[in-house]
Amino acid sequence: MDIHEYQAKDLLTRFGVQVPRGGIAYSPEQAVYRASELSGERWVVKAQIHSGARGKAGGVRICSNEQEVADAAQWMLGRKLVTHQTGPQGKLVSRLYVEEATNIAQEIYLGFVMDRKLERVVVVASAQGGMEIEEISEQEPESIIRSVVDPAVGMQAFQAREIAFSLDLDPALIPQAVKTIMGCYRLMRDMDANMVEVNPMVVTKAGEIVALDAKVSFDDNALFRRPEISELRDKSQEDTRETFASDNGLNYIGLDGQIGCIVNGAGLAMATLDMIKMAGGEPANFLDVGGGASPDRVLMSFKAVLNDPKVEAILVNIFAGINRCDWVAEGVIRAMEELNLQIPVVVRLSGTNVEEGQKILAESSVNVIATDTLAEAADKVVGAWKDASLKEAS
């Protein structure tokens, strides 16, 4: 789960990280009021969306007077901001963050990520801040600093000092840098975050270290024990398909194809996507229905897949262990009847109670294409999709 910049900064302050003063605004009038509250001569108006590269899309503006603040807010609010991370559909700007401008002397990149291969938190830093980490690694690979945190003892102050010295900071700033680095790590550890990114972390001309921008992502599987984090969720920034699936306990990722997939197990789901591609089709989603797929859960999976208007065929691929093929078959029939499906549906069942499941499908009145192997299922669903597309075109 992602959160907004202003929410990330609020969390950082709880762990001793210094951030610029600012306030949230939902209208141009409120943005001007926030600027007057902050006083000063310059302010930064920032669109709050779950995406980086906002500045390149016009979502970050430096303003020198209240009229400029109002104009920037008027332009941003209600607009769909398109960046290279949002895709062409963009993301709606419904709130702004107005903060005091900062006199920057130096920009630094600081990130904490979970390395799945190492099973460790890895700190990534660079003296070349203000850019995406991909750009930094491509343009200044020698500037990348990495430090692995041992989970048995957590991050130690000496590691933070090593990182701070590697960033060529003024020696007088090392204690501040250590406090900032340790604070970011504690946020990641104590709040079950997957990533904490401060880009840029800046040294001001007044000699202070400040988190100028921040991005934090959380482990969805840990939200049950972090209700205060769950409350920060903004569903308007999420893919509506993924939001529906998540709210119903399904593991779903939307893709750009036309063939919907309902599969149990992440590995089998990935293999199913590959087989559809090999057969000449394009998958519309990754959906892992999980274990113990009752007829109700299968029905909900169909609804999740059909939330994507591009879906023109569906492949159900179940290898039942904990699951039962007869339950899945009942769920498929129920979905086709209740949802009045007119698109091709291909079902491949294997494992527990497979004979019962196949019998239920064979004796039903719904038009299901049953297969025995994944390769055959992929060929059948791609063929049925192409045939249906040709009929519609003609």
**Cβ pair 66, 167 in contact under 8 A:** no
Stretch (H or E) spanning 202: strand 193-204
SS3 279: coil
Q: How many residues does the chain have?
A: 394
Structure tokens at 33: 């009021």
Q: Which residue has better confidence, 282 or 389?
A: 282
Q: Is the pLDDT of residue 109 over 70?
A: yes
> Closest by alpha carbon to 201, among 4, 6, 19, 13?
19
Domain ranges of the chain: 20-101, 103-237, 239-393
pLDDT score for 73: 97
**Cβ pair 283, 346 in contact under 8 A:** no
Which residues sit in the known binding site for substrate? 264
Structure tokens at 231: 């409350």
CATH for 239-393 is 3.40.50.261
Q: Is the pLDDT of residue 251 over 90?
A: no
**Cβ pair 287, 250 in contact under 8 A:** yes
Residue 98: pLDDT band with limits 50, 70, 90: very high
For 75, other C-beta atoms within 10 Å of its C-beta total 16
Q: Write down the CATH superfamily of domain 103-237.
A: ATP-grasp fold, B domain (3.30.470.20)
| Residues whose CB is less than 8 angstroms from the CB of residue 192 and which lie 6 or more positions away in sequence, other chains included | 218, 219, 222, 223, 225, 226, 229
CA 22/CA 40 separation, integer angstroms: 12
Q: Find the catalytic residue in 5, 6, 197, 312.
A: 197
Per residue in 278-305, pLDDT (tens digit) is 999 999 999 998 777 788 999 999 999 9
**Cβ pair 276, 285 in contact under 8 A:** no
SS3 letters across 208-276: CEEECCEEEEECHHHHHHCHHHHCCCCHHHCCHHHHHHHHCCCEEEECCCCEEEEECCHHHHHHHHHHH
CA 34/CA 52 separation, integer angstroms: 23
Q: Is the pLDDT of residue 153 over 80?
A: yes
For 330, other C-beta atoms within 10 Å of its C-beta total 21
Q: Is the pLDDT of residue 394 over 70?
A: no
Q: Find the catalytic residue in 6, 109, 185, 252.
A: 109
Q: What is the mean pLDDT of the chain?
A: 92
- DSSP count for the chain of H helices, then E strands: 13, 18
Q: Write down the CATH superfamily of domain 20-101.
A: ATP-grasp fold, A domain (3.30.1490.20)
Which residues sit in the known binding site for Mg(2+)? 199, 213
The tokens 């205060």 sit on which residue? 228
Which residues sit in the known binding site? 46, 99, 102, 107, 199, 213, 264
Q: Region 221-226: what's the mean pLDDT?
A: 91
**Phi–psi pair at 349, nearest 5 degrees:** -115, 145
Per residue in 309-351, pLDDT (tens digit) is 999 999 999 998 878 899 999 999 999 999 999 899 999 999 8
Would you list the DSSP string of 141-183?
GGG-EEEEEPTTT---HHHHHHHHHHTT--GGGHHHHHHHHHH
Q: Is 91 exposed, middle or buried (0-12, 13-18, 19+ CB in 10 A)?
A: buried
Q: Note the pTM of the prediction, 2 decimals.
A: 0.81
CA 80/CA 64 separation, integer angstroms: 25
Query: Is 197 an annotated catalytic residue?
Result: yes
CA 390/CA 393 separation, integer angstroms: 5
Q: Is the pLDDT of residue 130 over 80?
A: no
Query: Is 238 an annotated catalytic residue?
Result: no
